Every structure is written in structure tokens, then in C-alpha cells.
Amino acid sequence: MSEPPLRVLFLTPYYKPYLGGIERVIERLSAGMVQRRDVEAVGVLTTHFAFPRHWMRDLPAREAMDGGVEILRLPAWPKVAPPYFSVPLVWFPPSAIRAAIRAFRPTVLHWVGDGWFWGHYFSARYAPNAAVIFSPSFHTLTRDKFWLRPLNIALCRRADRVTALSPLERRAVHRTYCVPRRKHLVVSWGVDPDDDPPEPRPADAPLTVLCVGRLGEHKNQRFLIEAFAAALPRLRHSARLVLVGRDEGGRAAIERQIAELGLRERVLITGELSDAEVRAWYHRAELFALFSRYEAFGLVFFEAMVAGVPVLTHRVGANAELLREGAVVVPEHDRTGAAESMVRLLNDDAERQRLGAAARRYAATFTWPPVLNRFVALYREALAERRGISAR
């Protein structure tokens, strides 16, 4: 007897128009799932908020996009969220969550990212027979965030499977949230294949150092700008730094820093770009550099690498564990080391090209089809276990 098709409902407080790493994962998994015969429906339960905490009054409560993915947005009160947490801490009526669950009829709930404990708790309550996959995005809990620990412990206990992006993250999640090892697995994210050749660079054009990420404290562009400024006097070729990303409150300080360092002609801030425009910048770049304060996986690293661009970063989060080829990983927040590596990579064309070729080969092993197959297998496994529990 064949297994019934799946009805998969992802949960995240932000979805389109916002599209960060977590939302990108949902987008790519959904795109693959709607093409599968063993998946009957794919949906996203989300809110009317756009990142960070902006109420979008014109977004419909329900719509279909991207080949039939159903988007269900919850009402909330008030429309202005307190500005001290990444998830909008407002009232989402449990009755609205129940209505969304009844309308979609999920057999699988996939909580992508943590922090939206309200939506997670009530979705599981109103879909007691659905399998729950929890993919928390782990960050070390500071004192002001330690209240999240008991909430995430409870969510991990309810989940049938908990996934981590790397062995390092799995160890941290296990230690912090007490996840039983039998239901805790490593499933990395993926990237789209990119076989397009890099754009030819005119002989007199500057070398491009590219950074993709929201402009703010977390992505730490000011550290990169300092390293770039320190490297410039020692470069054999002219170079420019290109910062791509939406302003998360850091653009004004970044622009002041650029002016103070006399880099207005050397640093370009593009703002937020379309996927096609970002991809074009990857093909123009000689080096990708990003020194985030923490990265659980770093999709942009792999997007650059699959385009044949070598990566320069530092040893935080899972960077050293995941970026094994095609990348240079300097000690954490080592500006001198970052500048030295940037000089070496931009001055040595042969080494940069060798590293870029290695990056392309390595990143090609992190593509979406096997990730999708792995998650569908997890859904099936967890659902069979959940139904066995219900039968008993």
C-alpha cells in the first residue's frame, strides 16, 4: 500500500517580501516539493510583518505563489511590535492559528528557525497528529535572552525531529536545549547550481571584493571596511568593495566610516537587489568577504563559492567546520589577519583562481535536491512514528 501524499506547512514569522537565510531555505524547499508527486500541498504560515517588525497592511491574508505554495498570514495586535526582539512580540490570536491549521490540514509542521514560540506551540496544539520537524537557528544565549531556553527546551521535546546545520551546531543545541540524540540530526542547507562563467574583467577595471548581507551589527560590515582600508595600500591592482544588502539600521554608520577613511570612491553600497542582480555580482567578483558575528551555516558563502568565487571570513560559528575548501578562515575578529589574507588573495591571481576552482567543486556538493530528499525522508519517518504513537 502506497503512502499518502504529504501536506507540509512551514512556519516562520517573516516571509515574502522579506527573504533572509531562513526564508530562502523555505523558498527553495517549497519550490522542490511542489514538483513532487508524493507531496500534495505546501504552505507557509507567517504574519503580516516584514523584517524587522514592520507591519505590511497591504499583504493579503491568504495567497498562492511560486507554483502553488499557499501563504497564510496571521492577524496580530498591536500593529507596532516592541523593538527589542527579532520576532514580533505581539498577540497572534490562537483562533486564527487554529483556523489556518484547519484550512490547510497539514500532516507535517516544519518550524524553520526559533523564536516564534507562539506560532510553534499553537500549531502543534491544533495539529496533534502532524509530525513536527524543528530546525532552530542556534545562537549562544546572552543574559537578556536566557528566558528563551525553557521555551526552546519545551519545543524540542514536542518536536519529532530536531535538525542542525552542522555537527558543531548539533552539539550546541544538544547542550543548551537537552535534545535527545535519537531524534537530533544534521541536515545542511543547499544552494542552486551555478555553471555560468564569471564575467570577463577589462584590464583596467578594479578587482571586486563582494559582501552580501543585511547592513547592520550582525553582519559586521564595519570590520570588513577596516580590513579593506588596511589592505588597499599594499595591493598591486586597484580594488573596490561592494556591499549588497538591505539596511538593518547600520547604513548611516557605515557611510560615516567610509567617509572618515576616505573610501567614497572605493566602496559601493548597492542596497537590496533582486536574485538575478545578486547573482550577477557574484560573477563579477574576484573575492567574497564577510565577517559576521555568527553564522550557523552561511548560505551566501556557498552561493559565492558555487559561482567560483573564493571566500574570506573568520572563525566564528560553523565557518571553520563547513568551509573546508575554497575559503580562507582567519582567527576570530583578527583584522590584521583578514587584511593580510585579502592582500595575498588579491595580489596572487593564480592562487585566487585555484581557490575559486576549489570553491566551485566543493560548493557543488551542497545543492538543494539531496537536501530536499533528506527532509522528505525525515517527514515520512517522523510521521510514521507519530501515527504509531497515536495508534497506541
Name the CA radius of gyration of the chain, rounded: 22
pLDDT of residue 12: 96
Handedness of CA 280, 281, 286, 287 (dihedral sign): negative
Q: Which pLDDT value is given to residue 391?
A: 47
In three-state secondary structure terms, 207 is strand
Give the dihedral sign, CA 32/161/152/189: negative
Asked if the bond preceding 78 is cis, omega within 30° of 0, the reply is yes
Residues of the chain with CATH 3.40.50.2000: 6-190+367-391, 207-363
CATH superfamily of 207-363: Glycogen Phosphorylase B; (3.40.50.2000)
**C-alpha distances in Å from residue 356, one per residue of 28, 169, 177:** 25, 27, 38
Please tell me the predicted confidence (pLDDT) of residue 301: 96
Measured CA angle at 54 (ends 49, 57), to 5 deg: 65
* CA atoms of 388 and 1, how far apart (whole Å): 17
Element containing residue 228 per DSSP (H, E): helix 221-231
Helices (H) and strands (E) in the chain, counts: 13, 16
3.40.50.1360, 2.70.170.10, 3.40.50.2300, 3.40.50.2000: CATH of 6-190+367-391: 3.40.50.2000
304, containing H or E segment? helix 299-306
Cα–Cα distance measured from residue 339 to residue 330, given in angstroms and rounded to the nearest whole number: 10
Dihedral Cα 76, 78, 84, 87, nearest 10 deg: 0
CA distances from 311 to 70, 210, 254 (A): 36, 10, 22
Residue 85 CA to residue 96 CA, distance in Å, equals: 23
- How far apart (Å, rounded) are the C-alpha atoms in residues 302 and 290? 12
Alpha carbon 370 to its chain's center: 18
- Distance between CA atoms of residues 194 and 211, nearest Å: 18
Q: Which amino acid does the sequence have at 18? A: Y
Residue 104 backbone zone (phi > 0: left; psi -120 to 50: alpha; other: beta)? alpha
Q: How many CA atoms lie within 13 A of 353 on its CB side?
A: 5
- Confirm if 8 and 108 have CB atoms less than 8 A apart: yes
Per-residue pLDDT of the chain (392 residues; tens, 9 = 90+): 468 899 999 999 999 988 778 898 999 999 999 999 999 999 999 999 998 899 999 999 999 999 999 999 999 999 999 988 889 999 999 999 999 999 999 999 999 998 899 999 999 999 999 999 999 988 778 887 888 899 999 999 999 999 999 888 899 999 999 999 899 999 988 888 887 777 777 777 899 999 999 999 989 999 999 999 999 999 999 999 999 999 988 999 999 999 999 999 999 999 999 889 999 999 999 999 999 998 888 889 999 999 999 999 999 988 998 999 999 999 999 999 999 999 999 999 999 999 999 999 999 888 899 999 999 999 999 999 988 765 44
Q: What is the pLDDT of residue 200?
A: 76
Cite the beta strand spans of 165-290 per DSSP E: 184-186, 207-212, 239-244, 267-271, 287-289
